[in-house]
Structure formats: structure tokens, C-alpha cells
Amino acid sequence: MPLDLPGGKLFLAIVALFFILQFIFHFTFRLEEWLLAFGGAAMAFLHIRFLLLFVPFVAPLFAVMLARWMPRYERKKDKLVINGVLISAVATAMFWYFPSRAALERIVEGDFPVGAVNYIRKHPLSGPVFNAYGFGGYLIAALPEQRVFIDGRSEPYESDGVLSDYLQITELKPSAFTLLEVYGIRACLLEQEQALVTVLRQMPEWRQVYSDSTSVLFVRELAVAARSIGTEKQKPANKE
């Protein structure tokens, strides 16, 4: 949970508010409700994706707390006609504004390397591929036969040191290209705005084979890389 970001601060404020209200008003909850609330909060602290569990586990407890300041439900106050009109309006709006398949595909194309994947299907890659962090999950689904370098499940990559290596490469640390050699990377599928894209475009051993508004695909020319290394070895030492 990134507590330094606004979303993380909001999460922390909600947890703190829960404990403050409980301390002041001494609400009574069942043991399983406490266990779910504490478990959801603990998992959300460990990783932001577990907010999906934290919200449904804690929302019922907050509902009980808020009921202290809200009037009780009285059936005789219901406005059936108005309720029916509102429900019908909401259902109509949901149906009317529900995105079409074409709209969903446009959204996917704007965030994921759809065009690059189509290119790879026609021109299969040989050897390990280095991919942008945000592309990993899509590549697993779209190209199951192609192993990814990293995807959104950061925990296993962090424990094995791959996440650290990924950051060194994308941040162009001194060890970046040494790490690409260590992993035997033969292709790079990157986001357009990544700094590594600009650098690879200037390197003769990396050839850009595909590009669109979302992604760029580079393939390494091993023959060019070998000639480059050979030239470096043949250079005479500079004499003062």
C-alpha cells in the first residue's frame, strides 16, 4: 500500500477513522466480523490489490457505525412511484451508456500492445523478451507461448531480484545493458514514453521492427552486436 500517495493516505485515514469511532462509541460486532475487517486491512496494507477484499469486509461495519446518526427505516415513507421511476431511469442509463465491444477494444488498444502482439504472431520472436511492466499481464493472456520478463504480480519478481533488475534497466542505470546481456534479451517490447526507447533507437545492434502510439518493439541484431564488440577489442590503446 503506497501510503505516500493520495490513495494510500485516504486508505490510512479510513482505517484510523474506524478505530477512532470504535474507541469513542464502543460498537459491538461479532467475532467473524472483526476477523474479516482486520484480515482485509492487513492484506490491503501488504498490497494495494487487496482493497478488493478490504472494502466488502469493512463496509458493513461502517454501515453499523453510520446508522447511529441516521433515522431508522420507515416503510410508510416509501414513495413507490418515484422509486420505480428512478430505478427505471438508472437501468435505462446503464443500458444506453454500456460500452460496445468496439469501444472496449479501442480502450485496450490505447493501454496495451495490441498491434505489437499481432506483429509478433506473424513474426515470432526467438529468445527472451524484455517487456514493459504494464504489458506483462496482457502478454500472458494474448501470447501464452511467449515468456514474459515481468508482469503486474510484483511479489515473486521482487523476491527473486528481477524487479530490481527491471528498474535498473528501465532507469538506464550503469548496469542496464549488462543486465540485458545477462538475461540474453533478444527483443524489447516497451511503452512509447520509456527512456529506454530513445536509447535503443540510437544503437545499431537494436532494430525497431514495430511502433505505434502505445508500444515499440525492438529486435537485437546479433551479427551487428558481434561486429561492434570485435571493433571495440581491436581498437589500439590510446597513448599519452
Per-residue pLDDT band at 37 (split at 50, 70, 90): very high
Q: What average pLDDT score do residues 138-146 get? A: 94
Look at residue 74 in the predicted model and tell me its pLDDT.
86
Q: Where are the domains of the chain?
A: 6-69, 107-233
Q: Are strands 215-220 and 206-211 parallel, antiparallel or unpaired?
A: antiparallel
| pLDDT category of residue 132 using cuts at 50, 70 and 90 | very high
Tens digit of pLDDT for each residue in 86-117? 999 999 999 999 999 999 999 999 999 999 99
pLDDT at 231: 55
What is the per-residue pLDDT for 224?
A: 56
Scanning the chain, the segments in alpha helix (DSSP H) are 6-25, 31-46, 51-66, 80-97, 101-111, 114-122, 136-142, 154-159, 162-170, 176-182, 195-200, 222-234
Question: To the nearest whole number, what is the mean pLDDT of the chain?
Answer: 90
Q: What is the CA radius of gyration of the chain?
A: 27
Report the distance separating Cα 231 and Cα 228, nearest Å. Answer: 5
Q: Which element (helix H / strand E) includes 240? A: none
Per-residue pLDDT at 240:
44
> For the whole model, what pTM was predicted?
0.69
Q: Which residues of 16-52 are buried (b: 16+ CB within 10 A; e: fewer)?
A: eebeebbeeeeeeeeeeeeebbeebbebbbeeeebee
Confidence of residue 158 (pLDDT cuts 50, 70, 90): confident
Of the candidates 40, 44, 39, the one whose C-alpha atom is nearest the C-alpha of residue 2 is 44
C-alpha cell of 194? 520509456
What average pLDDT does range 175-195 have in this prediction?
A: 96
Name the class of domain 107-233. Answer: alpha beta
Convert the pLDDT of each residue in 198-237 to its tens digit: 999 999 999 999 999 999 999 998 755 555 555 555 555 5
Separation CA 142–CA 123 (nearest Å): 15
